[in-house]
Structure 1
Amino acid sequence: MTAVRIIEASPNDPAAVRLLDALSDALSAITGDDGRASFDPAQADESGSVFLLALDGTDQPVGCGVLRPLAEGVGEIKRMYAAPGTKGVGAALLAALGAEAERLGYATLKLSTRRVNHRAVDFYRRQGWSETDPFGRYVGRPESICMARVISPR
């Protein structure tokens, strides 16, 4: 497991931009769509949002993720990425985003990924997420799989 430290950052930080670009490149290779259209970095500045950066033991950026409001009591995870070969970084980021969601008062988290992205779908299932009805821009998009996880029952 890669040693990791999670910090709050800006998606406009140069290290974050490099990670988000790497995520877009990876998604484009897997799905044919880089995913950039589904997230505007300004969303990380909205109330109820947070952008997290994962740093390895030498403080090199190795992952990122965003939590943003979706609906009352519901947060959405966006732009989750862990650099290849950084075992445990994705789980650490997802746990940190979950802790931030609880702190911000969210009861449920949702996300969407492409069904063809088997590695991501399997990862989220291992982390306790399950398929849910499509939401927002993903309604009517069969290539998308929407997932949810209750973090704090109301």
Structure 2
Amino acid sequence: MLVIKISNPNDPSAYSIIEELSQNLYERFGSDGKNSFTDWENNNPKYLFVIAEWNTEIVGCGAIRPLSEKTGEVKRMFAKYPRKSIGQSILSFLETKAKELNYEELVLETRAKNEEACSFYLNSNYIKTPNYGKYADRLDAVCFQKNL
């Protein structure tokens, strides 16, 4: 049974899935994505990090960090096993918690080459938007947004 749990990216139990995500990104795209999630603030309640457990195995993760009081950014989404509804379960959990944290919208960036992720977000009712923030001038990035 899949269970989504609130965790901390600095927790030793989360380390292996974060490293697996980083290695996966590096092998596929030449960058591990770690530098885009370095400002984790454990004491800020608007930050949220979750892990997905299947039996006793950690099989996924995801996070939200605040960009503003009403806008959260989805980060570090990863499912170890594709097409098992792990990613959808994580994203649904994050969206529910985002509403509880009074976010009005979620935004995210993924690599344009990551066709699986782009399809996943479009199928999850996110819409493609102009690139924002540090992604504004990056041709290799694609951004999405969803009103909650």
Query: For the structure 1 residues 106 and 125, does the alpha-carbon distance in structure 2 shift closer, same or farther, using more than 3 Å as the test?
Result: same
| TM-score, scaled to structure 2 | 0.94
Question: Within 5 Å, which residues of 2 pair with 1:119-134?
Answer: 119-134=116-131
Query: For the structure 1 residues 45 and 134, does the alpha-carbon distance in structure 2 shift closer, same or farther, using more than 3 Å as the test?
Result: farther
CA distance in 2: counterparts of 1:42 and 1:106, whole angstroms: 18
CA distance in 2: counterparts of 1:77 and 1:70, whole angstroms: 10
Indicate the residue corresponding to 1:9 in structure 2. Answer: 7
CA distance in 1: counterparts of 2:29 and 2:42, whole angstroms: 24
CA distance in 1: counterparts of 2:84 and 2:98, whole angstroms: 23
Q: Deviations over 1:54-75 (max 9, x none)?
A: 111x121111111111123110
Choose from 32, 36, 39 the match for 2:37.
Answer: 39
Runs of 4+ in 1 over 2 A off after TM superposition: 41-47
Indicate the residue corresponding to 1:142 in structure 2. Answer: 139
Indicate the residue corresponding to 1:88 in structure 2. Answer: 85
CA distance in 1: counterparts of 2:17 and 2:44, whole angstroms: 21
Indicate the residue corresponding to 1:98 in structure 2. Answer: 95
SS at 2:56 equivalent: coil
Q: Deviations over 1:4-43 (max 9, x none)?
A: 1111111112231111111111111221111111111634
Shift of 1:134: 1.2
| TM-score, scaled to structure 1 | 0.90
SS at 2:138 equivalent: coil
Corresponding pairs, count: 148
Query: For the structure 1 residues 86 and 44, does the alpha-carbon distance in structure 2 shift closer, same or farther, using more than 3 Å as the test?
Result: farther
**Superposition CA RMSD, Å:** 1.4
Shift of 1:86: 6.2
Query: For the structure 1 residues 88 and 13, does the alpha-carbon distance in structure 2 shift closer, same or farther, using more than 3 Å as the test?
Result: same
Q: Deviations over 1:132-154 (max 9, x none)?
A: 12111111011000101111xxx
